[in-house]
Amino acid sequence: MKTLEELKAIREKMQGQIGLRSEDSEKTRVVVGMATCGIASGARPVLTALSDAVQSKNLSNIAVTQTGCIGLCQYEPIVEVMEPGKDKITYVKMTPEKALEVVEQHLIRGQVVSKYTISSEGRL
Amino acid sequence: MMTEISLNVLDVAQNSIEAGASHIIIDIKADHKEDYLKIVISDDGYGMTDSQLAKVDDPFYTTRTTRAIGLGVPFFKYGAEMTGGTFTIVSEAGKGTEVTAAFVLSHIDRMPLGDITSTMLSLITCNENIHFIYSYSVDGRCFTLDTKEFREILGDISFQEPEVSNFIKEYLQDHKDEVDQGEYI
């Protein structure tokens, strides 16, 4: 059973490393749409997969967050990747498996996975 | 359509976040003897005026500008009423909102509670500036998580730090298992 004592131990351990963390403005933001449309189409497992992957691969310059309805409900679950100084990339109809590909190809190697982006839908 | 009550909780809690809440209380209580599963989500956000409140379960009413339909509250309401349960919203402009959905626990049409641990983890780690109080109880066994306690221990360390969010996930899951004794509610 996890207790708050363990959280204190985590803090003790981490305080020495504070200087190593990057500033928020340099971070890449990965945003998952979490309104009714997103949630009903499966956004929560996508968000969980992204958070787990970013953590297990120690990608400390990436912040995974959530937002409301982006206005493209038919393309949910939607994941937006915002890298500082670059155009926003919008991935549509995501699944946990596709999200892991995006982590590997885009977030780690810097190659946009164009088969999943909104422009691949051909109607926009 | 939502397939789990925990997804409705995530969805309705997003409304609290959109309403600028700084405190959100999520209370889940199941009782086999009394045969109910009751979910209460209350916040100190903007609240709603009486005229907004009157239209809240109308799917064709929404305050959003990105689309004309709002299904979050209707889904939750019909999910509860379908089991013979009840659904109420109490709200006051400037004060906050309280949503209560009571399900009949044993009803065949009741959705499962589902993965409430994932719902709470994503709410807590993605909204660090919001103070969450979450409680989960089954037949009198109760667990309460208060993110203020986490914040006091952690100082300025983010909930998104891998070790911290991992801790929160296991903390949620361990206590959930203790409360419902592994039962799939």
Please report the domains of chain B, with CATH numbers, ordered by start residue. 5-180 (3.30.565)
Which helix (H) or strand (E) covers residue A11, if one does?
helix A4-15
- Mean pLDDT rounded to a whole number for chain B: 92
Is it the case that residue B65 has pLDDT exceeding 70?
A: no
The residues, ordered by sequence, that sit 6+ positions from B37 with a Cβ below 8 Å of its Cβ are B5, B28, B29, B30, B31, B102, B103, B104, B105, B110, B113, B185
Query: Which pLDDT value is given to residue A124?
Result: 52
Regarding the domain delimited by A27-121, which CATH topology (the fold level of the hierarchy) does it fall under?
Glutaredoxin (3.40.30)
Residues in chain A whose beta carbon is closer than 8 A to a beta carbon of chain B? 1-2, 4, 6-8, 10-11, 13-15, 18, 34-37, 39-40, 44-45, 47-48, 51, 55-56, 58, 63-66, 68-71, 73
Eight-state DSSP code of residue A108: I
The mean pLDDT of B125-154, rounded to a whole number, is 96
The pTM of the full predicted model, rounded to 2 decimals, is: 0.90
Is it the case that residue B51 has pLDDT exceeding 90?
A: no
Query: Which pLDDT value is given to residue B1?
Result: 74
Q: Comparing C-alpha atoms, which of B152, B137, B127 is closest to residue B43? A: B127
Domain range list for chain A = 27-121
- Mean pLDDT rounded to a whole number for chain A: 89
Q: Which residues of B touch A47 (CB under 8 A)?
A: 122, 126
Is it the case that residue A123 has pLDDT exceeding 60?
A: no
